[in-house]
Structure 1
Amino acid sequence: MRKREDYGYVLDIIPPELAAYKLPARIRREFPRDSTYAHVLGEDRFTLLEVTLKPGVKVEVGERVYIGVGQRDKVDKIVRRIKFEDLQPPAREALAQLVRQIVQSQEQKYVDWFNKAGPLTLKMHSLELLQGIGKKKVQEILAERRKKPFESYEDIRKRVGVDPVELLVGRIMAEIQGKDPYYIFVAPPPSEAT
């Protein structure tokens, strides 16, 4: 499993004049006063990050930016990992839409998860982490995928009567918000508050 994100989506832009109010003093001291900050959602593991933008660069909420190792065109530095609670209300609103966009754009990755998901414990299957999926529905999903692996979201809908995109978005949002001790799709939040 990869630890670093290569791409992310801009959730919020914090101009220099607002950084003094929205960011912890420790962070403000480490970066130039004229830095523009952004909160970004990682594309692969839904990592929440705070970054600084390169001087003079403009980005928009929802824009996909390179945040990986090496030369970046818009992001200057990754400042820190953040938690859901660190996001401002507009960023929280954009979050669900961007999670849905990522899940829809990476259909094969998540269909493969439905085909390969296994038990978490002797008594609990990872499919049960999806809201509304109980033991009976898990058995139905497992029986269907034994007959033939799922090929698409539509295939899952037709064969087991669930909306996989809704289930996945709900689960990913719960993990981002730290509502459950299990992390299947999301990088666990940083252990200490920053």
Structure 2
Amino acid sequence: MTDDATDVAAERAATSGDGTEERSVAVLLDVLPNGRPDDGRPGYQKSPVAYALGESSFGLYELSLEEDADVSVSDRIDLDGPAVSRYRKVSFDDLTRNAAAEIEYAVEAIVDADERRFVDFYNEAEPITLRLHQLNLLPGIGKKLRNRVLDERKRGPFESFEEVEDRISGLHSPREVILERIAEEIREDDLKYRTFVGRGE
């Protein structure tokens, strides 16, 4: 197996609740119709290139597109579909400036399209160590707010971000802190703990 094939295995292996394989879908961050500017080959030898954010594990990808691919920034694209000839995992530092600037918008689109998946973080977050809980990784959540979430979820699961905010006194932006944490995990390679990015990789 090549490195490229290994790199994309996690996005391809994402499974649904019934164990069936899901499509590998990503949100486009930038599209370069004439290929990468640092590619020294003649233009006729270069394929269109795009950068994308995987929906299941928030992996970053460089895509080689087919010449006739009709795609734009913010489009959802099937990584194994006809528009993509191949793709590989990349780091945040490999992105173009435009792609990096689109990260927050793409994360927001992914979270809003599958709110329940991220609300369930408040229902299912677990201790990491004796002193540190997954909830503490969210910006602004200290011991008191963490304990309020843990106490409140014993009464019943949260069904929406709005319900989290209504039931947890002092937690005013449950959606926004999730967005902020995901973006941080995408950008920072040296974080000790990751809650959202690379899950299942």
Letter in 1 for 2:150: L
Deviation by residue 1:50-89 (Cα, 9 ceiling, x = unmatched): 0101121121000000014xxx1211111x2111111122
- The one of 82, 85, 95 equivalent to 1:73 is 82
Matched, 1:176 2:186: yes
Matched, 1:12 2:30: yes
How many Å separate the matches in 2 of 1:105 and 1:172? 15
How many Å separate the matches in 2 of 1:57 and 1:104? 26
Check the 8 A contact 1:104/1:165 in 2, yes or no.
Answer: no
Q: How many residue pairs align between the two structures?
A: 177
Moved beyond 3 Å, runs of 4+: none
How far is the alpha carbon of 1:183 from its aligned partner?
1.4
Matched, 1:162 2:169: no
Matched, 1:37 2:54: no
How far is the alpha carbon of 1:38 from its aligned partner?
0.5
Which residue is 2:157 aligned to? Answer: 149
Letter in 1 for 2:85: D
- The one of 119, 127, 132 equivalent to 1:111 is 119
How far is the alpha carbon of 1:170 from its aligned partner?
0.5
Check the 8 A contact 1:37/1:50 in 2, yes or no.
Answer: yes
Letter in 2 for 1:185: F
Letter in 1 for 2:142: G
TM, length-normalised to structure 1: 0.84
Letter in 1 for 2:173: D
SS of the residue corresponding to residue 9 of structure 1 reads: strand
Residues 16-27 of structure 1 mapped to structure 2, 5 A cutoff: 16=34, 18-21=35-38
How far is the alpha carbon of 1:20 from its aligned partner?
4.0
Deviation by residue 1:17-58 (Cα, 9 ceiling, x = unmatched): x5242x5x7xx7xxx823001101101111000010112112
